[in-house]
Amino acid sequence: MLKKDLVEELHKKHPEYLKKDLEAVVTTVFETMTEALRSGRRIEIRGLGSMCLHKQKGRDFVNPKTGKFTKCPPNHRIVFKPGRELRNLDEQ
C-alpha cells in the first residue's frame, strides 16, 4: 500500500475531511515515526507490532560479478516484530 492509497482509504472512511488535510496527517505520523527511530526510540502500535533500530556489524563479502572481496561498513536496520493479531492472521 502506498501513502496515497492510505490517504484514499482514510478519505473513503472520513469524507468530511479534505484529502490534503489527511495527507498532512499521514505525513506527520510517518515523519514522527522516522524521528523516533532515528533517535533510538522504539515504536509500538497495538494490534500491528513494534519496530526498533538495530546496529548491524560491518562484514566482508564477495562481489559475485568481480569475485573480489569487499567490505560492507556497519549500518542500521529496522527490525519489525508483528503483534499477536497480525501473527494470527493465518489461523483465521
Distance CA 36, CA 39 (A): 5
What percent of the chain is predicted at pLDDT more than 90? 79
In 3D space, the residue among 21, 77, 88 whose CA is nearest the CA of residue 51 turns out to be 77
pTM here is: 0.76
Give the position of cell 515515526: 33
Tens of pLDDT along 4-38?
999 999 999 999 999 999 999 999 999 999 999 99
pLDDT score of 7: 96
Distance CA 81, CA 90 (A): 16
Residue ranges in the chain assigned as alpha helix (H): 3-13, 19-38, 84-87
